[in-house]
Amino acid sequence: GGSLGVLIKIHQDSINSTMGQSVLLPVSYGFDGAPHFPVSIAWRFGNNQDALITCTVLNCSLGAGGAPSHCFAKHFPRSTYNSRAELFPENGSLLLRDLQLSDSGVYHVT
């Protein structure tokens, strides 16, 4: 078999926002070759090993350069982020709503 290459691009390394507002943590990914689904995307906060939200991408159309579009996915937010976190399966970006002071810190995506 072949190997699956997933290319991830982080668009910003630092983002400022205001409490009570929403913020987008933008990333994107593409496939270097034929994708093998499902693909899992997880966002973590700080040193916590538990994901604040995960997404299992079950299928996507591929656009130019292997960029996913029109994805079918299942989302699994941690209960404390249930209504505040949204993960976009087409690019892997995270939207956080109703920001709280405790949301300040470092986020990781895998």
Cβ partners under 8 Å of residue 49, min gap 6: none
Output the pLDDT for position 32. 75
pTM of the shown model: 0.84
Q: How many CA atoms lie within 13 A of 76 on its CB side?
A: 11
Cα 45 to Cα 107: distance, rounded to the nearest angstrom: 5
In the prediction, which pLDDT does 9 show? 67
Residue bearing the bigger pLDDT, 5 or 34: 34
* Residue ranges of domains in the chain, CATH in brackets: 6-109 (2.60.40.10)
Rounded CA separation 100/59 (Å): 34
- Rg of the chain on CA atoms, in Å: 14
pLDDT at 56 (0 to 100): 94
The predicted pLDDT at position 8 comes to 66
